[in-house]
Structure 1
Amino acid sequence: MTAAELTPQEGARCALRAGLPLADDRLALVTATANHIQSVLGVLRELDFRQTPPAPVYQAGGPAGAAL
C-alpha cells in the first residue's frame, strides 16, 4: 500500500488544522520529515508478525526467573 506523498501546501493545511501554523521557510523540511515517517510506517505495516510471540512471553536478558 503506497500513499501519495504530502505536498508542502497539504502539510501547511494539516499543520494549521492541528493548530500549529508553520512559517514558509519550515514547510519543506516539515513536509520531507512527514513523508519520511510515512515511508517508514509503510515498511512496518508490511512486516509479517505472525510468528512473533506476544510481549508478555518475551524475557529480556535471559530465561524467566533469572536474577538481574
Structure 2
Amino acid sequence: MPAAEELTPPQAAHWAARTGLLLPDDRHEAVAATANHIHSVVAVLRELDFADTPPTPFPAEEEPYAGEEPYAEEKPYAEEEPHRAAV
C-alpha cells in the first residue's frame, strides 16, 4: 500500500469544518499532527499479519457479564423532567 501524504493544517481545518467542527486557527497544526500520528500507527497495525493468531478466549469466571444483563442495576431517569418540545 503506498504511503499517503501527510495531512496539512489547512486540510485538517477543512475536514473538521466539513463535519461541523470549526477549529480555532491556533489548533490546526496540532490537529494535523495528531491525525498524522494516528494514521501512522494505524498503517503499522494494518501491516501486521494475524492470520495464524487465534483470539484469546475469556476463562468462564472472567467473561464479562457472564449470566447477567450488563446494565440491569441502572435505574430509569425518573427524577429528570420529561422532554418538552419547543413550540
Aligned to 2:22: 21
Aligned match of 2:39: 38
Displacement after TM superposition at 1:32 (Å): 0.2
Q: Relative contact order: is structure 1 or structure 2 higher (C-alpha 8 Å, sep ≥ 6)?
A: 1
**Larger Rg: 1 or 2?**
2
TM superposition shift of 1:52 = 1.1
Query: For residue 6 of structure 1, what is the amino acid of its counterpart?
Result: L
Deviations 1:9-68 (A, max 9, x none): 111100000100100000110110000000000000100011111x3xx234xxx55x55
Q: Which runs of 4+ in 1 moved over 4 A?
A: none
The alignment's C-alpha RMSD in Å is 1.5
Equivalent pairs counted in the alignment come to 61
Give the distance between the partners of 1:29 and 1:12, measured in 2 at CA. Answer: 11
Q: Which amino acid aligns with 1:5?
A: E
Q: 1:59 aligns with which of 54, 57, 60?
A: 57
Higher fraction of helix: 1
Which residue does 1:9 correspond to in 2? Answer: 10
2:48 corresponds to which residue? 47
Structure 2 residue ranges without an equivalent (≥5): 63-87
Identity %: 54
Gaps of 5+ in 1: none
